[in-house]
Amino acid sequence: MLLTCLLLTLSACSTYRDIPPNSPISQVENQMGTPNYRCTLPDGRQRLVWSQQPQGQYAYGANVNQQGNIDKVQSLLTDSHFRRLTEGRWTQSDVACEFGPPAEIDRVGLGEKNEVVWTYRYKQNNAWNSLMFVYFGRNGDAVTHYHSGPDLRYERWFND
């Protein structure tokens, strides 16, 4: 009995890092639940995203091959992963497929500087409550730039 309780407790502590590469998608869904975003990559593979947006700060993704196995589950909302936005051209569909849906979609700026901006909540360096702002230009065609900033929901002096 004690051993069973210990095993159940330890299995409840498992994370996405405990899922080995090449695991069948059924095993991944048993551990992580059903992904809340799916898309098809240019090479035909399926991209699965488990996102906590709009209120949460984490999202995880994996690609599924033709045999129904994932490549690996990875954390998506990190500064190093957002740096992928500097490689090539990224449309809104590309960004949603890579990072999942944003917490908010808005427009900012005036005149010629008015741009579509997607906001992702995330835990910068697993320490700071932050937002990542991804700008898509005036027409929303492609990413023009991105930057992070504090998530003011967590700043006490702004909420008093």
**Most confident among 3-12, 105-114, 115-124 (mean pLDDT):** 115-124
pLDDT tens readout for residues 63-114: 999 999 999 999 999 999 999 999 999 999 999 999 999 999 999 998 888 9
- The residue type of 77 is L
Q: Could you state, in order of their start, the residue ranges of all structural domains in the chain?
A: 13-159
Distance (Å, whole) CA 76 – CA 19: 16
What is the number of H-type helices and E-type strands within the chain? 5, 8
Residues 6+ apart with CB under 8 A from 88: none
Query: Is beta strand 104-108 parallel, antiparallel or unpaired with respect to 37-40?
Result: unpaired
CB 77 within 8 A of CB 132: yes
The pTM of the full predicted model, rounded to 2 decimals, is: 0.86
Split at pLDDT 50, 70, 90, the class of 7 is very low
Q: What is the pLDDT of residues 18-76, one digit of tens each?
A: 899 999 999 999 999 999 999 999 999 999 999 999 999 999 999 999 999 999 999 99
Please enumerate in sequence order all residues whose Cβ is within 8 A of that of 26, keeping only pairs 6 or more positions apart, or say none: 68
